[in-house]
């Protein structure tokens, strides 16, 4: 089950879905930002949360369902990168390096949509199995 890197610890898939519907606590955004070691504005842009909206969410304490899903999408990719690179520093660095396979964009930039995130996940799979990318 993914999300553990940001403190989401669901018992099963149904629990994860329920947590997403309730909205994850806003602290997961900060945890993901820390894991990726990126500026807050950059991560907010990647997960499509306007910076002013993020400020409001911090006061409210919870993200909306769609925002929670987008945070979890990036956390899932981060966790896959940890599996592939077996080192948090390398995983962080990889997310910020432009990739030829992603049209010169960084994996973090490319993952701002679901199709882009799927391509980043596919790229990680190719790297994991030694396929030139």
pLDDT digits (tens, 9 = 90+) for 65-124: 999 999 999 999 999 999 999 999 999 999 999 999 999 999 999 999 999 999 999 999
Q: How big is the chain, counted in residues?
A: 133
Between CA 58 and CA 40 the distance in angstroms is 12
> Domain ranges in the chain?
4-128
Supply the pLDDT for residue 132: 62
Give the percent of the chain with pLDDT over 70. Answer: 98
Between CA 93 and CA 64 the distance in angstroms is 29
Using the predicted structure, report yes or no on whether residue 2 has a pLDDT greater than 90.
no
Assigned token pair, 9? 């610890």
- 99 alpha-carbon distance from chain centroid: 17
């Amino acid at each position: 089950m993914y999300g553990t890197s940001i403190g989401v610890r669901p018992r099963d898939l149904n629990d994860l879905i329920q947590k997403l519907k309730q909205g994850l606590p806003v602290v997961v955004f900060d945890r993901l930002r820390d894991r990726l070691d990126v500026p807050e504005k950059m991560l907010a842009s990647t997960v499509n949360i306007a910076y002013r909206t993020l400020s409001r969410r911090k006061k409210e304490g919870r993200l909306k369902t769609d925002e929670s899903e987008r945070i979890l999408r990036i956390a899932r990719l981060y966790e896959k990168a940890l599996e592939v690179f077996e080192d948090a520093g390398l995983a962080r660095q990889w997310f910020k390096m432009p990739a030829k396979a992603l049209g010169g964009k960084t994996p973090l930039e490319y993952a701002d949509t679901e199709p882009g995130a799927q391509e980043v996940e596919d790229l990680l799979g190719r790297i994991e199995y030694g396929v030139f990318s």
